[in-house]
């Protein structure tokens, strides 16, 4: 079964509003979670690394004030798209490493399809 | 940076064998993953290579040659459900455990 739960799976919002996406690790603790974005027919691009108890690390070109990340507990990270615009419409996916092994595969949430009208 | 190159699309016949190639240019990485992704869904793990050589896992095998900057994913006994994108992914040697994804190869399996 799923080891990472992501919610909502789909969301449609109006331009200018904010949207929160939740990512939960099930039955394991995740001190680190990764947030990716994927545009149609393109690959996943890492947006930021969410760190429990500290500030997120953002990739170059990703606006910190627009994509707010909070990792308040060992099982929950949230991504808030603030003042969303149509160009923010994309597929957002979170992932988390399950075990302490550096080389263990990441487990992904099922993704959130965001459409901004 | 780490350029990862894969063919954009491939077509194969049900029951056949297909090899998806991946080449990369990078200064260092810990390992290379292959993930499968169906349209609109999250990627799922297929295989992981750290050392050179072949890793076999049922109908799927993955090969890595670090000296040649080359990997491939081999799918045998193709099934219709294998129609998906296949992502060549590097685990960079940065300590952050973040993955770097190739653009993916869309495989279409035909009857």
Contact between chains at A109 and B103 (C-beta distance less than 8 A): no
A8 prior amide bond cis, ω within 30 = yes
| Percent residues over pLDDT 70 in chain A | 93
Quote the minimal CA–CA distance from A46 to chain B in Å.
8
Average pLDDT, chain A: 90
Q: Is the pLDDT of residue B63 over 70?
A: yes
Quote the minimal CA–CA distance from B84 to chain A in Å.
12
The pLDDT score that the predictor gives to residue B40 is: 83
Whole-number Å distance between alpha carbons of A51 and A56: 6
Contact between chains at B42 and A45 (C-beta distance less than 8 A): no
| Residues of chain B neighbouring A37 (CB-CB closer than 8 A) | none
Residue B13 CB neighbour total at 10 angstroms? 11
What is the average pLDDT across B71-76? 98
B34 contact A CB<8A: no
Stated length of chain B: 111
- pLDDT tens for each residue of A10-66: 999 999 999 999 999 998 888 889 999 998 878 889 999 998 888 999 999 999 999
What is the average pLDDT across B61-84? 96
Contact between chains at A57 and B87 (C-beta distance less than 8 A): no
Strand duo B9-13 + B105-110: pairing: parallel
What residues 53-82 of chain B have any CB closer than 8 A to a CB of chain A? none
Q: Is the pLDDT of residue B1 over 50?
A: no
Residues 6+ apart with CB under 8 A from B68: none
Whole-number Å distance between alpha carbons of B16 and B79: 9
């Amino acid at each position: 079964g799923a080891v990472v739960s992501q919610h909502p799976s789909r969301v449609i919002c109006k331009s200018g509003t904010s949207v929160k996406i939740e990512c939960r690790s099930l039955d394991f603790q995740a001190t680190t979670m990764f947030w990716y974005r994927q545009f149609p027919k393109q690959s996943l691009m890492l947006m930021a690394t969410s760190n429990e108890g500290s500030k997120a690390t953002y990739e170059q070109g990703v606006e910190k004030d627009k994509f707010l990340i909070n990792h308040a507990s060992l099982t929950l990270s949230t991504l808030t798209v603030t003042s969303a615009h149509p160009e923010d419409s994309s597929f957002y996916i979170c992932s988390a490493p399950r075990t302490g092994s550096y080389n263990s595969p990441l487990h992904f949430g099922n993704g959130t399809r965001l459409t901004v009208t | 940076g780490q350029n990862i190159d894969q063919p954009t699309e491939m077509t194969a016949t049900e029951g056949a064998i297909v090899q998806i190639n991946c080449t990369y240019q990078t200064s260092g990485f810990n390992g290379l993953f292959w993930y499968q992704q169906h349209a609109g869904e999250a990627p799922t793990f297929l295989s992981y290579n750290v050392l050179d050589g072949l890793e076999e896992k049922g109908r799927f095998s993955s090969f890595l040659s670090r000296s040649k900057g080359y990997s491939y994913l081999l799918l045998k006994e193709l099934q219709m459900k294998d129609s998906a994108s296949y992502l060549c992914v590097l685990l960079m040697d940065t300590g952050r455990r973040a993955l770097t994804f190739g653009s993916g190869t869309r495989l279409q399996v035909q009857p």
